[in-house]
Amino acid sequence: MNPWPYVTGAYLLAAIGLLYYLVSVSRRTKAMTAQLGTLKRHAGGGAR
């Protein structure tokens, strides 16, 4: 029985999982920062 498919499978799965999460956090942060930017601009405009 060849062990390597299992070993690489496990490590690959972990790598994909971690990278996917990293991308997810980056994407969400980008979206949030954009929202923040829009709100701040409007707040600045309203205060005037």
Partner 1 sequence: MIGRGLERALGILAVIGLLVGLYTGFFYAPADAVQGEVQRIMYLHVPLILVSYLAFFIVFIMSILYLARRRERHDAIAHSSAEIGVLFTALAIAAGSIWGRPTWGTWWTWDARLTTTTILLLIFIGYLMLRALVDDPSRGATFSAVLGIIGFLDVPIIHMSVVWWRTLHQPASILRPGAPTVAPEMQVALFTNLVAFVLVYGYLLVKRLRLEEARWELNRLRMEQVT
Interface positions with partner 1 (CB under 8 A): 1, 3-4, 6-7, 9-11, 13-14, 17-18, 21-22, 25-26, 28-29, 32-33, 35-36, 39-40, 42-43, 46
Q: Write out the E strands in 1-48.
A: none
Residue 47: other Cβ atoms inside 10 A: 6
User: Which amino acid would we find at residue 27?
Assistant: R
Q: How far is the CB of 46 from partner 1 (least distance, A)?
A: 8
How near is the Cβ of 48 to partner 1 at its closest, in Å? 14
Residue 27 C-beta: closest distance to partner 1, Å: 10
Q: How far is CA 1 from CA 4, 6, 16, in A?
A: 9, 10, 25
